[in-house]
Amino acid sequence: MALSISVVILAFNEEESLEAVIDEIESVLQRIGRDYEMIIVDDGSTDDTGAIADRLARENLRMQVAHHAINKGLGEAYRTGFAVAQRDLITFFAADGEIPAATIKEFTPLMDVAHMVLGYLPRRNASL
């Protein structure tokens, strides 16, 4: 039996991109054909990210939202994602859409045989 996947979406003030990123991720997950869940971690957003996330979760039984009352940073958002995730495998995506959801399909066969799979952006144009 194929391993199931938890996809944690890290969101801080991503009201403009969140819904499109969720749609893209879910489309890839449906094509993979494994059991999955999506978890949005709203890291204390001050825009409508939390409300959008709550609406998306009400519309999709495979989705849930964890809210931080204030921004706690990336490390705490990761910890929250690990704590909430219930499937066999866990992967993380930023809600800004910087990393294409198609990487899930590329990494999934590797995750079946390795304890950890790490990706990177080889030609990233942003400063460290």
For the stretch 18-24, contacts whose Cβ atoms lie closer than 8 Å and that sit 24 or more positions apart, written own/partner, are: 18/49, 18/52, 18/53, 18/56, 18/95, 19/52, 19/56, 20/97, 21/93, 21/95, 21/96, 21/97, 21/101, 22/56, 22/63, 24/97, 24/100, 24/101
pLDDT of 128 reads 44
pLDDT number for residue 110: 82
Tell me how many degrees the CA angle 30-6-11 measures, rounded to the nearest 5.
Answer: 100
The pTM for the full model equals 0.90
Mean pLDDT for each 10-residue chunk of the chain (128 residues)? Answer: 91 97 96 95 98 98 97 96 94 91 86 74 59
